[in-house]
């Protein structure tokens, strides 16, 4: 992304990332992606999906998706529930696109359960949430960036299509990416739509399995 003249807003690696960084304010969290003037966020970590209903506050009995946070050495290992997230922030410099590079980060059955329970992990400011409906590896990330930016003479693609096409570069098999968001933001490029507030309906796209 730096080659495309994008600046890094912040990087939190390993023990620097705490569960509270990802939680929204109502869960005593810092919601760090929303509050640090980043338009494009990427969270790369492990993910796990629940197979039973979670009745903690805010989860409304949905089958959750969980993100383990090591936290050591400064704090204890913990989990962040997807219901504790509230991705998206207003304004030109607010969070508009978020990649969750974690296994099953947008698992379809759990997404359906969240919908039934009446919540989603993003607000009306986030345009697209990019994740996976399967086990994934991070083999796609460099290509995702190159396709979004059109680097190295690659065709410049929408954020959506760049995520989709980059799945073919993963080394795992099979890999299925998924994207959720507002349907009027599917054609978003990296520039030109930061200040737009989504007006459309919510969608969930289970992309074809990349083998």
Partner 1 sequence: MKKIIYLSFLALCGASFGQNIPFRHLGSPFNQTNVDLVWAAPTNNLPRELWVYRAWPASVSTDTISNLVALGSFTDRDRKKSPDNPHLISYADPTDKRGLLINTDWAFIHYSDADANDMHVTNGVPGKQQAFEMATTWLPKLGVDSRQLYRNPQGATIKVYGGPDTVFFYAREGKGSALATNICMYDVTFKRALDGVEISGGSARGGCTVEFGHHARISSIIVSWRNYKRDKLYSVPTPEILLKWIREGKAVWYSPDFDVFDWSSIKKIVITKITPYYYSDAYGMNDNPQNWASPFAELEAKIEINQTNAIFYLDCPIIGETKP
Of 10-18, 25-33, 90-98, 171-179, the segment contacting partner 1 by CB under 8 A is 171-179
The residue from 61, 90, 93, 156 that contacts partner 1 (CB under 8 A) is 156
What is the rounded distance in angstroms from the CA atom of residue 160 to the CA atom of residue 162?
5
The residue from 41, 165, 185, 188 that contacts partner 1 (CB under 8 A) is 165
Applying CB under 8 A, does 185 fall inside the site for partner 1?
A: no
74-133: which residues touch partner 1 (CB under 8 A)? 102-104, 115-116, 118-120
Applying CB under 8 A, does 202 fall inside the site for partner 1?
A: yes
Interface with partner 1 (CB under 8 A), residue total 57
Which of residues 25 and 202 has its CB atom nearest to partner 1 in the complex?
202
**Angle (deg, nearest 10), helices 159-166 and 141-149:** 140
Of 5-13, 28-36, 85-93, 164-172, the segment contacting partner 1 by CB under 8 A is 164-172
The structure tokens listed for 96 are: 């508009």
In angstroms, what is the minimal distance from the CB of 98 to partner 1?
15
Applying CB under 8 A, does 150 fall inside the site for partner 1?
A: yes
Q: What are phi and psi of 113, to 5 degrees?
A: -65, -40
The residue from 110, 157, 163, 190 that contacts partner 1 (CB under 8 A) is 157
Applying CB under 8 A, does 29 fall inside the site for partner 1?
A: no
Applying CB under 8 A, does 9 fall inside the site for partner 1?
A: no
Residues 33-52: x/- map of binding to partner 1 (CB under 8 A)? Answer: -------------xxx----
* Radius of gyration of the chain, Cα coordinates, nearest whole angstrom: 16
Site residues for partner 1 per CB under 8 A: 46-48, 68, 102-104, 115-116, 118-120, 134-135, 137-139, 142-143, 146, 150, 152-158, 161, 164-165, 167-175, 182-183, 186-187, 189, 200-211
């Amino acid at each position: 992304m730096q080659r495309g003249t994008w600046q890094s807003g912040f990087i939190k690696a390993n023990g620097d990332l705490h569960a509270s960084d990802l939680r929204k304010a109502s869960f005593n969290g810092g919601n760090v992606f929303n509050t640090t003037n980043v338009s494009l966020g990427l969270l790369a970590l492990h993910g796990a999906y629940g197979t039973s209903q979670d009745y903690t506050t805010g989860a409304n009995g949905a089958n959750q998706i969980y993100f383990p946070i090591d936290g050591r050495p400064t704090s204890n290992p913990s989990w962040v529930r997807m219901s504790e997230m509230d991705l998206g922030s207003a304004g030109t410099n607010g969070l508009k696109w978020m990649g969750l590079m974690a296994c099953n980060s947008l698992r379809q059955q759990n997404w359906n359960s969240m919908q039934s329970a009446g919540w989603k992990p993003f607000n009306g400011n986030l345009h697209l949430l990019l994740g996976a409906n399967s086990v994934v590896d991070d083999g796609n990330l460099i290509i995702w960036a190159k396709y979004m930016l059109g680097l190295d003479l690659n065709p410049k693609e929408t954020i959506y299509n760049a995520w989709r096409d980059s799945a073919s570069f993963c080394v795992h098999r099979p890999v299925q990416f998924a994207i959720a968001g507002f349907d009027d933001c599917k054609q978003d490029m990296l520039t030109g739509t930061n200040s737009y507030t989504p007006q459309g309906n919510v969608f969930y796209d289970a992309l074809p399995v990349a083998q």
